Amino acid sequence: MKHNLFLFIGISLFINLSAQDKPRGTRPKGMSFMPEGTFVNYTKTPDNTIYVSAFWVGNEVTNAEYAEFIEYANAHPNEELKLVNLENPSTHKYGNLRPKVIGMNEYISIIKYSEIRNYLIDFEKLPHEDYLYNKKYATYPVVGISNKAAQWYCAWKTEMEVKKGKSSVYRYRLQTEDEWIYMASQIKTIHKDYNPKKVVPSQKGKVDIRKLHHLLDNVSEWTSTNTYKNNTLQKVVKGGSWFGNQGIFESKSFEENTAKRYIGFRVVRAYMRKE
């Protein structure tokens, strides 16, 4: 177990951050700015230099935040939720546009809350029976969430800001595997509560980088990155958890409808210099 704990220490990394370290515009509530930059992944042959665009990123989504989504879905069963179809590479250029200017049906999937509300969380995959709704755990990271449910949450979070009249909002989404590695590679030291034996609040303990907590521990995190395992399309999961260690360049993967008691997620949003 210990060699996994310090796996990334023995891996050479080169990180080049952009000079534009301070963002323009309004900072989204509860999110930190990650400037553009590159990192070299020496685990691949030949060495692979990866560029990452600037983005906004939050901490682990909490039970309280996710419970609000569930309550909204139950209260508005006939309302439609719009998701940009990023599975098709030809639609990627639309992923960061303002929601109101995306009017092409072929790039959007529309679903009613009544169709998904029974699939938003797997209560059998929670650390405690009352984990989601007990106020004691309100600030703890939500788990028992499938990758698909996490995508629905991102779409709902976007729609809620549109309803508030925020014209400059861009779509929220899951982080990519490269974005996660880029962030985690900037961590200088491992704090003593790395890989605790039980789940803790999302913002408890020392900050890893840029007001972000628990990139390496607490709960593992869903990404939007696809991979194939046994000829089956799956989504990549990054980071260690209270359930076990996982180094920066290690990963797991599961089908998008799978839920685990140790997997949660965090939300990111594209950064546009003109916003």
* Residue span of the structural domain in which 72 resides: 2-270
CB 170 within 8 A of CB 26: no
Name which of 233, 232, 202, 230 is nearest 217 in CA terms: 202
User: Residue 270, SS3?
Assistant: strand
If one counts the domains in the chain, the total is 1
> What is the per-residue pLDDT for 136?
96
For the chain, 275 residues long, the average pLDDT of each consecutive 10-residue run is 40 50 80 91 74 94 98 97 65 45 58 96 94 97 98 94 70 93 89 82 92 95 94 95 91 96 95 66
- Identify the pLDDT of residue 86: 56
The answer to whether residue 66 is domain-embedded is yes
Q: Is residue 251 in some structural domain?
A: yes
On whether residue 203 sits in a domain, the answer given is yes
CATH number at residue 53: 3.90.1580
pLDDT given at position 219: 97
| CA–CA distance, 249 with 70 (Å, rounded to integer) | 33
Residue 110: the pLDDT is: 86
Does any domain span residue 29? yes
- Do the domain assignments include residue 275? no
Residue 206 exposed, middle or buried by CB count within 10 Å (0-12, 13-18, 19+): exposed
Q: Is residue 42 situated within a structural domain?
A: yes
